[in-house]
Structure 1
Amino acid sequence: PTTALALHYRRHSMESKLARAALDGMTAVMISDASHRIIMVNQEFENMMGYSTKHTQGWNAHNLIFLPEDLESTLNIW
């Protein structure tokens, strides 16, 4: 049990470090859930798009990325 807990903590710690590195990088990053609702964006995304995490939380990522007239046809391809 102790070994499993240590491995879980180590994996979680590594995932946290990777997430932090992605968010702190020079590339715009948007994180969304399985329903494509925006959870978080990084500073570079805010600089590029002009929207903060606070402003975009809960938005559907598709509506931010695709033009309304292109959304349906794009989703049909996927």
Structure 2
Amino acid sequence: MLAVAKFLTHLTQPTVLDNASIHKAHLVKAHQAAWAAAGLTLLFLPRYSPELNRIKILWHFCKHYWLTPAACQTPQTLL
């Protein structure tokens, strides 16, 4: 957790997180007040709003438009 805390001290803009369980874990909640006191703002996306989560949009396009079934037939085609 020390490495995470050190990394977070360099963030100067609000950090946007989805509602994944790891982002809402007890360990995160336990440190959230200290991080806020250090100037870190955590903003959580509304629940069930994948249209606001850019990485989910990117993965959707990768899975449904950019990759073909032939791309996943053998381990060699994945490389």
TM-score normalized by the length of structure 1: 0.30
Task: State the structure with bigger RCO (CA 8 A, min sep 6), 1 or 2.
Answer: 2
Q: Radius of gyration: which is bigger?
A: 2
